[in-house]
Amino acid sequence: MSCGSYKQGGFGGEQGTHALELISYNFVPFRFLATCTRDAEKRWSKMGVVYVEGTVTGPTGKQATVNFLVDSGAMYTLLPRKVWRAIGLKPMDSIKCFLADGTGVERKVSECRISLPQGQRSTPVLLGEKDDEALLGAVTLEELRLVLNPFTRQLQPMRMMLA
């Protein structure tokens, strides 16, 4: 996974509320909105943070709806613990990922079917641990042939090259 930079701090004098202030899209924010207040989250949405709702399906057909943070700087999609357990995913492998500050974390890997308004595909996913947030990563975006338009903050079809 890629890593970038961040700094920790509150928003506009809100005491006791801390979140990671986005400096680069190229980071893995596992917990960055966990303690934000609603007001702080509204400010984040104006800063280019993009969410998309999707449905994930496990091997037995169990489904869950997830609100994903679109993070084109994250390699893989990450599912929160309660989601992947609810749909019956089992670890197949593990991988070492790096956070923005360079800290290495180990996450287990599995596969599931993901459905977004723009399409559906099978994709590898990281199995999140306690407090990990749902991320939609670059591999899943590419499998769905989608790119994030940074100006409109919309997912749009990828221009496919045959070269």
Domain borders along the chain are 6-150
Rounded CA Rg of the chain: 16
Q: Are strands 77-79 and 93-98 parallel, antiparallel or unpaired?
A: unpaired
Q: For 49-61, how does the pLDDT look when each residue is reduced to its tens digit (9 = 90+)?
A: 899 999 999 999 9
Flag whether the pTM goes above 0.85: no
| Percent above pLDDT 90 for the chain | 56
| 72: three-class secondary structure by DSSP | coil
Is residue 115 packed enough to be buried (19+ CB in 10 Å), middle (13-18) or exposed (0-12)? middle
Q: Would you state the pLDDT for residue 65?
A: 97
- How is domain 6-150 classified at the architecture level of CATH? Beta Barrel (2.40)
- Which residue has better confidence, 56 or 21? 56
